[in-house]
């Protein structure tokens, strides 16, 4: 006898409490294999394909695309093949597909089946799959059959005539002499089906569904109501629930219409309406993080203009050398990016000023200095601002940094960054010059202690060697947590970065 298992949204790790459904990968009635991805979700960190640990027929999906689903909420139910449960637990007991516990809180002792073994962060499927008590399709009712004013033909798709007759009897005002409720839970998975039946006064215990193992589907309830309306000569009006359920993740909602007393005159143009956009997904997580940074971190900012002419010449020299002497071992095969050169300068500066590569543990009242530099960089995507992290940036050269920046930027653009790519940073480099601006006072990426901002590199008048000249000038700004260091340390780091930008040969001293 088939079992109907409920698969819930697992804990995707990194303290995430929910996810947004981006795209369903399966349909109701579709056969899925073990570990087959069934839904694509977007968390506050990344896009994730969620695999189902069960193989069978999808009987229900929970949540529309764009809806927010909390961790532990059901995603789908799957009907899987299994042995009949002749001596199963009493009616009303069932186990969850994720925790293996029964409805009354007791643990099931007879778990023998093995799961798929597929593991996302924070959940596994090694425990035995849960089993739900089902109502046998052919189980007869102990009482006399329902009588109705007219006979009701059976349907071609196998929907039970008893359900239709019961609905007809109620709609026509005839006495309800339906069979007594079958012992055990009602074979319904979808809450929409229960709601539709409750609104129209239809007792689901009198129905035998057309789904797998007698599962009652929405089509069964709708057919019974249509048949009842046809036989009784009227259609029952659904009764509105006294307290309508409010969806968890509403679509952008419009402001309420003005009251009748303040309604505009007929023919007058309607006033523009405000649109509310939910803060969710990546944008919502970033909003929370930036708000926390502003609330907790006493930050300060210092900035300096630097002549980047020599840095740009050094980059052009590396490019020309690779083009003119491609077979040279020193030529390399990657075009070095300006961001990679600035990142290399930052890692050298953090080695001299380790106070800025730290975080604050207020619970222990300690400043934690990190031994490795995990360099984050701001990347703007269609889904919002993200900060991918280059691991162990202090051990990488300019070529390695260029390749890693390119890989993470492409992953951010396509939405394939993993939670590991977006966490664990210790210092952030923010190149807002790509937006065509010179300066900024960036917000520190909590719980880090500092962020270096880089403006656009543009030709400007500059005094060079005692004469006025046109040079490539860039503005550098450093925002730092005043709890980890004083202005002297922050100014020293910024001055070192500016000196390396103006004279890249300074880096040769530390190579």
Task: State the catalytic residues.
Answer: 482
β-bridge partners, 439: none
CA distance 478 to 111: 58
Q: Return d(Cα 464, Cα 382) in angstroms, integer.
A: 42
Q: Is 340 helix (H, G, I), strand (E, B) or coil?
A: helix
DSSP code per residue over 282-321: HHHHHHHHHHHHHHH--EEEEEEEEE-HHHHHHHHHHHHH
Contacts of 430 (CB under 8 A, 6+ apart): 377, 378, 440, 442, 451, 452, 453, 454
Bridge partner list, 12: none
- Are 366 and 380 in contact by the 8 Å Cβ rule? The answer is no
Residues 63 and 139: their CA atoms lie apart, in Å, by: 33
Instruction: Please state the φ and ψ torsions of residue 156, each to the nearest 5 degrees.
Output: -70, -25
According to DSSP, the β-strands at 427-431 and 384-386 are unpaired
What's the DSSP call for residue 262? G
Torsion, Cα 349 351 356 358, to 10 degrees, reads 150
List the one residue out of 478, 476, 434 whose CA is nearest residue 337: 434
Q: How far apart are CA 332 and CA 456, in angstroms?
A: 27
Closest CA to 217 of 188, 238, 260, 196: 188
φ and ψ at 262, to 5 degrees? Answer: -110, 15
Rounded Cα–Cα distance for residues 301 and 442 (Å): 8
Of 163, 222, 225, nearest in space to 190 by CA: 222
Residue 485's Cα: distance from chain center in Å?
A: 36
Tokens of 28: 């109701």
Dihedral angle of Cα 290, 291, 297, 299, to the nearest 10 degrees: 60
Alpha-carbon gap, residue 405 to 428, rounded angstroms: 13
Task: Tell me how far CA of residue 449 lies from CA of 80, 339, 367, in angstroms.
Answer: 52, 20, 10
CB 333 within 8 A of CB 318: no
């Amino acid at each position: 006898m088939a079992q109907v298992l409920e698969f819930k949204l697992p804990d995707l790790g990194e303290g995430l409490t929910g996810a947004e459904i981006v795209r369903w990968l399966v349909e109701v009635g579709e056969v899925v294999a073990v570990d087959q991805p069934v839904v694509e979700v977007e968390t506050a960190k990344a896009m994730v394909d969620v695999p189902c640990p069960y193989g069978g027929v999808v009987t229900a999906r929970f949540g529309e695309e764009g809806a927010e689903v909390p961790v532990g909420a059901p995603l789908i139910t799957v009907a899987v093949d299994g042995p009949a449960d002749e001596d199963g637990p009493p009616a009303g007991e069932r186990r969850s597909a994720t925790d293996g516990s029964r409805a009354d809180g007791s643990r099931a002792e007879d778990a023998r089946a093995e799961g798929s073994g597929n593991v996302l962060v924070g959940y596994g499927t090694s425990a035995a799959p849960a089993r739900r008590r089902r109502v046998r399709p052919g189980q007869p009712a102990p009482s006399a059959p329902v009588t109705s004013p007219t006979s009701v033909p059976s349907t071609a798709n196998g929907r039970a005539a008893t359900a239709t007759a019961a609905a007809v009897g109620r709609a026509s005002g005839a006495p309800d002499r339906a069979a007594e409720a079958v012992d055990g839970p009602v074979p319904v998975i979808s809450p929409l089906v229960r709601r539709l039946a409750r609104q129209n006064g239809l007792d689901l215990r009198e129905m035998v569904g057309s789904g797998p193992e007698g599962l009652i589907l929405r089509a069964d309830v709708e057919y019974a109501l249509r048949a009842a309306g046809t036989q009784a000569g009227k259609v029952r009006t659904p009764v509105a629930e006294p307290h309508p359920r409010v969806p968890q993740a509403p679509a952008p909602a419009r402001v309420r219409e003005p009251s009748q007393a303040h309604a505009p005159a007929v023919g007058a143009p309607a006033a523009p309406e405000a649109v509310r956009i939910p803060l969710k997904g990546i944008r919502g997580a970033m909003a929370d993080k930036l708000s926390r940074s502003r609330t907790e971190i006493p930050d300060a900012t210092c900035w300096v203009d630097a002549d980047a002419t020599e840095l740009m010449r050094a980059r052009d020299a590396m490019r020309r050398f690779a083009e003119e002497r491609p077979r040279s071992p020193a030529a390399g095969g990657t075009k070095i990016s300006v961001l990679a050169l600035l990142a290399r300068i930052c890692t050298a500066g953090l080695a001299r000023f380790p106070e800025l590569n730290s975080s604050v543990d207020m619970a222990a009242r300690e400043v934690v200095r990190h031994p490795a530099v995990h360099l984050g960089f701001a990347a703007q995507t269609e889904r919002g601002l993200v900060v991918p992290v280059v691991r162990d940036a202090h051990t990488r050269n300019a070529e390695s940094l260029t390749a890693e920046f390119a890989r993470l930027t492409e992953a951010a653009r396509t939405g394939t960054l993993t939670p590991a790519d977006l966490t664990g940073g210790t210092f952030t480099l923010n190149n807002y010059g790509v937006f065509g601006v010179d300066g900024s006072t960036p917000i520190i990426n909590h719980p880090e202690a500092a962020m270096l901002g880089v403006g656009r590199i543009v030709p400007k008048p500059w005094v060079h060697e005692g004469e006025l000249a046109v040079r490539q000038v860039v503005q550098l700004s450093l925002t730092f947590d005043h709890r980890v260091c004083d202005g002297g340390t922050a100014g020293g780091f910024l001055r070192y970065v500016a000196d390396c930008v103006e004279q890249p040969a300074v880096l040769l001293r530390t190579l």
